[in-house]
Chains A and B, each alone.
Chain A
């Protein structure tokens, strides 16, 4: 990370948001602050909020948070740089995160990540030239029973293979609708950040998309109920690509 640290001249104050943008964000910020007994608790959701405006946490966004919460920009920067979900520079519309923590890595996450790097021509934390996809490897995302897992804008793509992952990124770049195995049809990274700021997803059908529990979540229950004695059918591994997005 050190190569990204600027050691040059002190920077001029961050340019402010245009007035209409600021007015809109102030209204959202006040709603966030009202959720908490102490206003500073609003900082994490507000960083998600400014990320939903510009796609990453800019100096303007951090200045805005500092102004609204009565903090210094140093205090805001200290927090913004601590958490991995806040981006520090412009990135793609879709964040494709391949889990390479031990279990997913062993089950094929390493292979998926390598193939995606080659397929997209980008390295870790880099964005394709068309601005569509930022590729990164991520840590355990609490879906080990669906390994290997890929997250796109923090929706679950379970039981992936190199082929299914490559098809998925091709579809994203071609502008086709892509649906996760668990979660709602993908929205942009900015729209995702707004949900993370605590504003519910208003799209019809988003909450119920992909139904109740995923198949792996149900294996124990089905077994206890005497259903599906042949568990081999529960996991058609690698057939995720078979669900046609068109």
Chain B
């Protein structure tokens, strides 16, 4: 073992690698001035010195994969855009962060919006787009405010608009606030919504790369994916691939939440484990133990304390039967009723189902009916197989991934916690006290005050 590795073991926090979050603690971190003081817009200058095709190849070789959930290689997405087709090309940034548990893009945009804007200009240069859009969920006005301001600053400084940095590149950037619909995080529903329609997913093919926004070639990328590009250009693809694992290179934001001692954002190379993150951050809240957790939001099958050492990269999580998703590590301790948790998630999917396809619209509705009955002690044993059966009729048979996501917590909770469901049925009710799960449950001082 090398000295460096020993040091890492002794100080687990050395496993972290703040890049996007590196100067969030600086005064006025959201301003152009602070960004420029921290290598801001240097990656763009390097990108503009390359040809667009070389730039696409470079991002492809870096191995950057989508940070929005699916993990599709970003450079390859850019390469799919047909060139010389005479049509306008569009870049649409998916900032509709709404997956339960996911909370990385919103703090990123609040503290460092220019990293996204720089990435957008680079991506537009690569795919020959002159108009980009940021589709931000509407329910985050503080972030919208800072995006408005950052875009204004970037135009004033010549990073957006006509003839950017004298390169001849023109890019218009429009910030578009959504209006409250989880489904718009699905890229084709997002495009319909951006066109002023109900946010319902489209049939594919054609894929957005061929017929996206206004039926023109369109790249849809997650905020974190695009915001990661400037650092790759500035520090080099070799630096990027030196982080993370072979198939999942680079750094990413892990969002720790729930019954942990220190919830928050932890930027680290891909492949870190939940055990390492908990070890360095103080573990679960005192006196409690981990019961179940999600690796990447509620749509990714849940894990238990058996999975603490699963490497949190695309392959590692996949091999363990779940998905890396958005790296939203929601941790629940032994006070939490898994039936209550799954019921609430399922109510969410039923509420957010757009209604376009039958398996999802009807299936989520009936899942909620069964789960509410079980939680209230009115269930029967046959309901458990029925839950599995309905989830099976949604999973893979729906129009888009919302349906698959709705099935995930059902399958995984029945796999790991079937006995707890049975307990609700035989005991005719929930054996848990929700008061013990609250953030203030162990705060005795406050209770007596």
* Chain A interfacial positions (CB closer than 8 Å to B): 35-38, 40-45, 47-48, 69, 78-79, 82-86, 100-103, 105-108, 110-111, 138-148, 151, 153-156, 159, 161, 180, 182-184, 192, 195-198, 200-201, 206-210, 212-226, 231-232, 234-235, 237-238
Provide the bound-state CA to CA distance between A181 and B302, in Å. 31
Whether A139 lies near B182 (C-beta < 8 A) is yes
Contact among A144, A148, A182 for B142, CB-based, below 8 A: A182
Name the B residues within 8 Å of A102 (CB-CB).
100, 298, 330, 341, 344-345, 348
Decide yes or no whether B287 CB sits under 8 A from chain A: no
Interface readout for B88-115 with A: 1 if CB under 8 Å, 0 if not? 1000000001111111011100110000
Decide yes or no whether B383 CB sits under 8 A from chain A: no
Provide the bound-state CA to CA distance between A214 and B263, in Å. 12
Contact among A35, A145, A223 for B257, CB-based, below 8 A: A145
Decide yes or no whether B145 CB sits under 8 A from chain A: yes
Question: What is the minimal beta-carbon distance from B177 to any residue of chain A, in angstroms?
Answer: 5
Name the A residues within 8 Å of B210 (CB-CB).
none
Decide yes or no whether B138 CB sits under 8 A from chain A: yes
Question: What is the minimal beta-carbon distance from A117 to any residue of chain B, in angstroms?
Answer: 16
**Which A-B residue pairs are the 8 nearest by beta carbons?**
A219-B264, A220-B266, A43-B196, A83-B179, A183-B142, A85-B180, A40-B196, A84-B180
Whether B437 lies near A107 (C-beta < 8 A) is yes
- Among residues of B, the one whose C-beta sits closest to the C-beta of A238 is B440
Whether A195 lies near B439 (C-beta < 8 A) is no
Stretch at the interface among B13-21, B154-162, B225-233: B13-21
Decide yes or no whether B68 CB sits under 8 A from chain A: no
Whether A195 lies near B214 (C-beta < 8 A) is no
Name the A residues within 8 Å of B99 (CB-CB).
140
Name the A residues within 8 Å of B18 (CB-CB).
220-221, 224-225
Whether B263 lies near A235 (C-beta < 8 A) is yes
Whether B263 lies near A216 (C-beta < 8 A) is yes
Contact among A85, A139, A142, A232 for B179, CB-based, below 8 A: A85
- Among residues of B, the one whose C-beta sits closest to the C-beta of A40 is B196
- Among residues of A, the one whose C-beta sits closest to the C-beta of B11 is A226
- Among residues of A, the one whose C-beta sits closest to the C-beta of B216 is A37
Provide the bound-state CA to CA distance between A142 and B257, in Å. 11
Provide the bound-state CA to CA distance between A183 and B267, in Å. 23
- Among residues of B, the one whose C-beta sits closest to the C-beta of A224 is B16
Sample of 23 A–B contacts (CB below 8 Å): A42-B196, A43-B197, A84-B181, A85-B138, A85-B139, A101-B345, A107-B437, A144-B257, A145-B107, A145-B256, A145-B257, A145-B265, A148-B438, A184-B141, A196-B138, A196-B179, A213-B111, A217-B264, A219-B263, A223-B281, A224-B16, A232-B261, A237-B440
Name the A residues within 8 Å of B344 (CB-CB).
100-102, 105
Whether B110 lies near A82 (C-beta < 8 A) is no
Provide the bound-state CA to CA distance between A218 and B256, in Å. 12
